[in-house]
């Protein structure tokens, strides 16, 4: 189930270590409308800066991606290398240079090994169509433990379109996106302005609501390509099909976000925190992040300890409007705190924590707004993975 008109290629360039594919190409057989969202970190990798300029055109044809090296904090040479990668692909494709985007992920502060990348680009282009979307998802991984792919079929009129997304990310995952790359492809024709608006709304409630460790990366990028090869009338915000398209895109980004949280470095559990009954959605989001970023909460979840007092403390310092004597807390369906007081069901809740998917619901009971944030537990493995990241 792949959107019409997209081809893929992966090769091994030995960018960090030998023995794995680490250079990928995503190619649309026709020019696609594109939209993107990027890290808000003030320190941005060269590919991010380059793509932020290119995305202003609203169009694109190809994306080249390398893993193992972020090409961040690499000065003028880093930008020259990013531009060169784009130009080498464009020349090999005989495509217009502005239509090739570049993404990188990996170690910060080390120049790209262009002597190993350059000779592989012709091979990458020549091999288009010999790799799958799943192959690309595997090739862009760094500390990820599994490829992340989500697909949805969507009926537009009498035709069946596809929205497919891949992403990578497992650490340095914090709001305003994460150390993540995400590529969403669709053969559905969508107006560029509508595509941009819908993507940013989807990112707001998915990738911008993940936190693994509270760190924000320099390379975070989400790109969507809509090549229109389904042949449907171009969707706008006023189209009959718009609501269905928006819903499907939201599902793809949220499910990808869940995979990132599930694969958090050292994680053993996926945790969804929902705060409801807040005065404003921004308050609900802020409170949920306060709980999700608490190392005390995350380690308690890892230890199967339903320590709701740590959640109450995190809510208290979140800075949002709340009343302790109105707040209820649930682990799954087990209510551990009612109106700020214990229900005496901590032991039952501890059994809930032995699962792989944990849902924590916090009802502030002072309003009608809500928000969900995805996170994971924190184990000793998180320290091991990050202590050895550069080696």
φ, ψ at 275 (rounded to 5°): -110, 125
Distance CA 360, CA 338 (A): 14
Distance CA 124, CA 107 (A): 23
Residues 97 and 60 sit within 8 Å (Cβ to Cβ): no
Distance CA 343, CA 329 (A): 10
Per annotation, catalytic residue among 74, 142, 143, 179: 179
* Alpha-carbon separation of residue 87 from 47, 76, 98 (angstroms): 13, 17, 9
3-state secondary structure of 148: strand
Report DSSP state, residue 56: G
Q: At what angle do helices 75-93 and 114-126 cross, to 10 degrees?
A: 20
Report DSSP state, residue 176: S
Residues 65 and 181 sit within 8 Å (Cβ to Cβ): yes
186 is catalytic: no
Residues tagged active-site: 179
């Amino acid at each position: 189930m792949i959107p019409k008109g997209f081809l893929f290629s992966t090769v091994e360039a030995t960018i960090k270590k030998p023995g794995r594919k680490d250079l990928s190409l995503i190619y649309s057989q026709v020019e696609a409308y594109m939209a993107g969202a990027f890290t808000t970190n003030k320190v941005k990798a060269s590919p991010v800066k380059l793509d932020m300029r290119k995305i202003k055109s609203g169009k694109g044809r190809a994306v080249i991606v390398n893993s193992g090296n972020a090409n961040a904090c690499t000065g003028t040479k880093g930008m020259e290398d990013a531009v060169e990668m784009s130009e080498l692909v464009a020349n090999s494709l005989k495509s217009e240079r502005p239509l090739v985007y570049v993404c990188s992920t990996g170690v910060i502060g080390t120049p790209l090994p262009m002597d190993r990348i350059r000779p592989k680009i012709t091979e990458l282009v020549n091999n288009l169509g010999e790799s799958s979307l799943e192959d690309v998802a595997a090739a862009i991984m760094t500390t990820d433990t599994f490829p992340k792919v989500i697909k949805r079929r969507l009926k537009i009129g009498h035709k069946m379109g596809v929205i497919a997304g891949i992403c990578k990310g497992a650490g340095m995952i914090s709001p305003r996106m994460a150390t993540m790359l995400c590529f969403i492809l669709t053969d559905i024709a969508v107006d560029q302005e509508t595509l941009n608006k819908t993507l940013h709304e989807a990112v707001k409630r998915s990738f911008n609501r993940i936190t693994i460790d509270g760190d924000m990366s320099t390379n975070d990028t989400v790109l969507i390509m809509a090549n229109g090869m389904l042949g449907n009338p171009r969707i706008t915000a006023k189209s009959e099909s718009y609501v269905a398209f928006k819903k499907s895109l939201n599902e793809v980004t949220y499910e990808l976000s869940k995979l990132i949280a599930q694969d958090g470095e050292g994680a053993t559990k996926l945790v969804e925190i929902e705060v409801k009954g807040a005065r404003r959605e921004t308050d609900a989001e802020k409170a949920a992040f306060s709980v999700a970023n608490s190392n005390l909460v995350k380690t308690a979840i890892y230890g199967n300890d339903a320590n709701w007092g740590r959640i109450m403390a995190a809510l208290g310092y979140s800075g949002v409007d709340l009343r302790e004597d109105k707040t209820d807390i649930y682990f799954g369906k087990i209510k551990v705190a009612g109106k700020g007081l214990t229900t005496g069901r901590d032991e039952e809740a501890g059994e809930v924590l032995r699962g792989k998917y944990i849902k924590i619901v916090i009802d502030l009971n002072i309003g009608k707004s809500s928000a969900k944030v995805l996170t994971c537990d924190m184990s000793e493995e998180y320290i091991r993975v990050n202590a050895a990241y550069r080696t």
